[in-house]
Amino acid sequence: MKRVLVTGAAGSVGTNLWKGWEEAKCYELTLTDHRPIEGSTSRVEVGDIADRDLVTSLCEGQDVLVHLAYIPHKPLADVTDIGVAMQLFEAASAAGVHTIIYASSNAAIGMNEFKRSPPLHSTGDMFRPAGWYGAQKCMAEMAGKYLSAREEIRFVSIRIGTFTGGSEPQDHRQCTTLMTPRDSLQLFTKAIDYEGPVKFLITYGTSGNHSGHQISWLDLTDARQILGYEPEDNLIRDHAHRFAD
């Protein structure tokens, strides 16, 4: 059974994942966040992800790191999200972690949506952030690319479109970007379980949002073809008509 460390486990994505994994009894989980994590039967460590000693100890004995935590951007701050991510990746590498799953964001290609209507179709090899949030996500992905080449660590970055914890879109945009809880659980599970030859992968995290004449601009090709992701939900097909006006 794989030993999996999950950062940011008190958040909406993290809670959805660990609840599903605990129910399936598929991994030996260690959950961490700076907030309390209620209701888990797994090992829980509450603390600051920027604490070097904490992350060093948490990474010991782990097979997989699922990094969901995010440090909000503040100008000229001493602690930054990219700095924390790189420190964590180095700790994972030193501890012998063989797979890192990174929760990135479609903000990594935010300029494709900001400058184009409809947005430019976005693939995993594109880096076009529209702000510091997206820029730091891109930088963390490049740190992962370096690690995968230097240490033979598998690094999978999932650029999440929208995750609300619900299965229905709140507007027309979410018909293309939303990833439902069950599709999120499937995609992250596929990323953890993947044992194929690909060592570095950037893909998007949405449900299977398409119709005969409309498709999400966030490309799922690699998630489907490499990881074997088969999303169950389709928000364009089932809900886009609600926002037709």
We report the CATH number of the domain holding residue 91 as 3.40.50.720
CA–CA gap between residue 80 and residue 74 (Å, rounded): 8
CA–CA gap between residue 154 and residue 69 (Å, rounded): 19
Looking up tokens 């930054």, which residue turns up?
A: 80
How many structural domains are present in the chain? 1
Band of pLDDT at residue 94, cut at 50, 70 and 90? very high
pLDDT at 245 > cutoff 70: no
Strands in 90-195 per DSSP E: 99-105, 154-160
pLDDT at 213 > cutoff 80: no
Strands in 145-233 per DSSP E: 154-160, 200-205
Question: In the chain, pLDDT over 70 holds for what percent of residues?
Answer: 98
How distant, in Å, are the alpha carbons of 5, 29, 103, 191, 203 from that of 25?
A: 15, 9, 22, 17, 26
* Domain extent at residue 14: 3-243
pLDDT at 222 > cutoff 90: yes
pLDDT at 70 > cutoff 90: yes
* Confidence (pLDDT) at 177: 96
Mean pLDDT of the 40-59 span:
97
C-alpha dihedral, 229 to 232 to 234 to 238, nearest 10° = 170
**What mean pLDDT value characterizes the chain?**
95
Mean pLDDT of the 52-75 span:
96
Does residue 67 contact residue 4 with C-beta atoms inside 8 Å? Answer: no
Q: Interior CA angle at 177 toward 237 and 236, to 5°? A: 10
Q: CA nearest 157: which of 117, 95, 217, 99? A: 99
Band of pLDDT at residue 214, cut at 50, 70 and 90? low
* Confidence (pLDDT) at 212: 65
pLDDT at 146 > cutoff 90: yes
